[in-house]
């Protein structure tokens, strides 16, 4: 490849090149300019632009510096004017073009970036599925709403309890047979032969009856939603963890009628206005009298079917009037006060309302099942 004219001619003086007449000057500069314009076209990115700029404008060894040093400075007085004028003209052209190439490159880069960042409004959006509350949470909220409308407050309590709150203060002393139905998980077993009690997972929400009455004077109207635990083997109707809502109302003039009316209102609100309730005698150490609340079968409306084992009734939950012995544990005046309490199984309520036969599906987290209850 032939040496470009700029490398060749500009490193020599005009005398060396044999130039002595002004008209040859014009041709020399025209060649340089043509070479420059050719190179300018080849500048495609920032790094080649830098090489290009330095080759022509570099102070030490750029083409224009060489022209100035080799052509202009040693030129004869006869040529100096023409060389100076031509050099100025070339310099103006080179500077303007180098700057223009830079501007063009910047514009191009901005265009490319804008194209990359452009939002395509025709693309499908990011689909974020909207979740919903678990059926158990929904059932909690529904029952809370019913009791809030009756003037009750919602309180929560610890899942880890002492035997005193879970049993003793509820009138279930250590060797009471009622403890057999409420075996639980012990977190800190009582040290052998020592007095301090262990910690256990509560078997019911009833301990909150005690906590509430210890800290609050009547009138008391509370419900307590929460998790409870029992040492049960899982099957269609048992789970080692399930959910309850405790209810407690204590005041100076609460009667069995209030108890019945409240229970009936709750059941009708939750299961529907045609559902009837009945009370069957039962036993809990912390209520007297105690009752098992039944509802007319939600599947057959009391006619008798497989769901209600052809009895027309379904057992719903345990309840009763607060046993005066319990007031003794919380320093309430048993002569002046009366009240009722109940413990609803939330899982059972949800299963009955929606016709489910296996409690385990509530805890398996299969979204296909859970999605049905949005
Ligand atoms: N705590 C009892 C249970 O879990 C239910 C209950 C609560 C009964 C309140 C009477 C009064 O079995």
Give the model confidence (pLDDT) of 202-239 as tens digits: 999 999 999 999 999 999 999 999 999 999 999 999 99
Measured from the CA of 170, which atom of ligand 1 is nearest? Answer: 1
Task: Specify whether the CB–CB gap between 373 and 354 falls below 8 A.
Answer: yes
Q: What are phi and psi of 371, to 5 degrees?
A: -60, -20
DSSP alpha helix (H) spans, the chain: 5-9, 14-17, 22-41, 46-57, 63-66, 77-117, 135-148, 163-166, 207-215, 256-271, 324-329, 346-354, 367-370
Residue nearest (by alpha carbon) to ligand 1 atom 5: 343
| Ligand 1 midpoint to CA 61 (Å) | 99
Q: Mean pLDDT for the chain?
A: 92
Q: What is the pLDDT of residue 3?
A: 45
Using CB distances shorter than 6 Å, the residues near ligand 1 are: 204, 206, 284, 287, 318-320, 341-343
Residues 6+ apart with CB under 8 A from 249: 152, 219, 220, 221, 258, 262, 339, 340, 341
Position 21 confidence tier, pLDDT thresholds 50, 70, 90: confident
283-327 pLDDT, tens digit each: 999 999 999 999 999 889 999 998 889 999 999 999 999 999 999
Q: What is the pLDDT of residue 190?
A: 62
Residue nearest (by alpha carbon) to ligand 1 atom 10: 319
| In the predicted structure, residue 189 carries a pLDDT above the cut 80 | no
61-71 pLDDT, tens digit each: 899 999 999 99
Q: What is the pLDDT of residue 178?
A: 87
Task: Specify whether the CB–CB gap between 264 and 256 falls below 8 A.
Answer: no
Measured from the CA of 248, which atom of ligand 1 is nearest? Answer: 9
Q: Which residue out of 204, 244, 315, 316 has the highest number of ligand 1 atoms within 8 Å of its CB and is therefore the one to mutate?
A: 204
Structure-block tokens of residue 175: 């060797």
Q: What is the pLDDT of residue 2?
A: 42
Residue nearest (by alpha carbon) to ligand 1 atom 4: 204
For the whole prediction, is pTM greater than 0.95? no
| Ligand 1 midpoint to CA 319 (Å) | 6
| Cα–Cα–Cα angle for 271, 205, 241, rounded to 5 degrees | 80
Q: Which residue out of 212, 318, 321, 323 has the highest number of ligand 1 atoms within 8 Å of its CB and is therefore the one to mutate?
A: 318
Residue nearest (by alpha carbon) to ligand 1 atom 2: 343
Give the closest residue to 61 by CA, choosing from 25, 9, 10, 2: 10
Q: What is the pLDDT of residue 197?
A: 65
Q: Give the separation between CA 191 and CA 347, rounded to whole angstroms.
A: 35
Position 20 confidence tier, pLDDT thresholds 50, 70, 90: confident
| In the predicted structure, residue 51 carries a pLDDT above the cut 60 | yes
334-367 pLDDT, tens digit each: 999 999 999 999 999 999 999 999 999 999 999 9
| Ligand 1 midpoint to CA 330 (Å) | 18
Residue nearest (by alpha carbon) to ligand 1 atom 7: 343
| Ligand 1 midpoint to CA 1 (Å) | 102
Residues forming a β-bridge with 244: 226, 345
Q: What is the pLDDT of residue 191?
A: 66
Q: What is the pLDDT of residue 159?
A: 97
Task: Specify whether the CB–CB gap between 250 and 213 falls below 8 A.
Answer: yes
Mean pLDDT of the 124-135 span: 89
Task: Specify whether the CB–CB gap between 131 and 138 falls below 8 A.
Answer: no
Structure-block tokens of residue 321: 């009037």
81-92 pLDDT, tens digit each: 999 999 999 999
Mean pLDDT of the 158-183 span: 92
Q: What is the pLDDT of residue 312?
A: 95
Task: Specify whether the CB–CB gap between 184 and 167 falls below 8 A.
Answer: no
Q: What is the pLDDT of residue 120?
A: 83
Q: What is the pLDDT of residue 1?
A: 37
| In the predicted structure, residue 163 carries a pLDDT above the cut 80 | yes
Structure-block tokens of residue 220: 């008391």
Q: Give me the torsion for CA of 292, 295, 297, 301, rounded to 10°.
A: 150
Q: Give the separation between CA 108 and CA 11, rounded to whole angstroms.
A: 36
């Amino acid at each position: 490849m032939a040496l470009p004219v700029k490398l060749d001619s500009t490193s020599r003086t005009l005398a060396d090149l044999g130039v002595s007449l002004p008209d040859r000057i014009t041709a020399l500069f025209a060649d340089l300019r043509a070479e420059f314009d050719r190179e300018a076209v080849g500048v495609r990115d920032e790094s080649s632009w830098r090489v290009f700029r330095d080759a022509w404008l570099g102070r030490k060894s750029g083409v224009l510096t060489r022209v100035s040093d080799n052509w202009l400075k040693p030129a004869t007085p006869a040529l100096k004017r023409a060389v100076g004028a031509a050099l100025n003209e070339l310099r103006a052209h080179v500077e303007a073009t180098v700057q223009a190439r830079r501007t063009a490159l910047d514009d191009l880069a901005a265009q490319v970036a804008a194209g990359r960042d452009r939002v395509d409004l025709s693309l499908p959006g990011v689909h974020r599925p909207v979740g919903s509350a678990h059926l158990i949470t929904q059932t909690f909220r529904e029952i809370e709403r019913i009791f809030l409308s009756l003037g009750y407050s919602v309180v929560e309590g610890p899942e880890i309890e002492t035997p005193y709150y879970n049993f003793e203060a509820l009138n279930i002393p250590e060797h009471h047979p009622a403890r057999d139905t409420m075996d639980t998980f012990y977190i800190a077993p009582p040290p052998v032969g020592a007095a301090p009690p262990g910690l256990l997972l509560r078997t019911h929400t009833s301990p909150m009856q005690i906590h509430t009455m210890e800290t609050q004077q009547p009138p008391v109207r509370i419900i307590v939603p929460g998790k409870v635990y029992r040492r049960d083997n899982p099957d269609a109707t048992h789970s080692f963890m399930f959910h309850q809502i405790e209810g407690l109302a204590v005041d100076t003039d609460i009667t069995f009628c209030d108890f019945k009316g409240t229970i009936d209102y709750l059941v009708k609100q939750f299961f529907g206005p045609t559902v009837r309730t009945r009370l069957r005698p039962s036993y809990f150490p912390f209520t007297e009298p105690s009752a098992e609340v039944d509802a007319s079968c939600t599947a057959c409306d009391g006619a008798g079917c497989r769901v209600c084992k052809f009895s027309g009734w379904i057992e719903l939950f345990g309840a009763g009037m607060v046993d005066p012995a319990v007031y003794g544990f919380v320093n309430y005046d048993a002569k002046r006060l009366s009240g009722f309490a109940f413990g609803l199984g939330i899982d059972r309520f949800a299963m009955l309302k929606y016709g489910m036969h296996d409690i385990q599906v509530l805890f398996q987290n299969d979204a296909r099942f859970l999605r049905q209850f949005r």
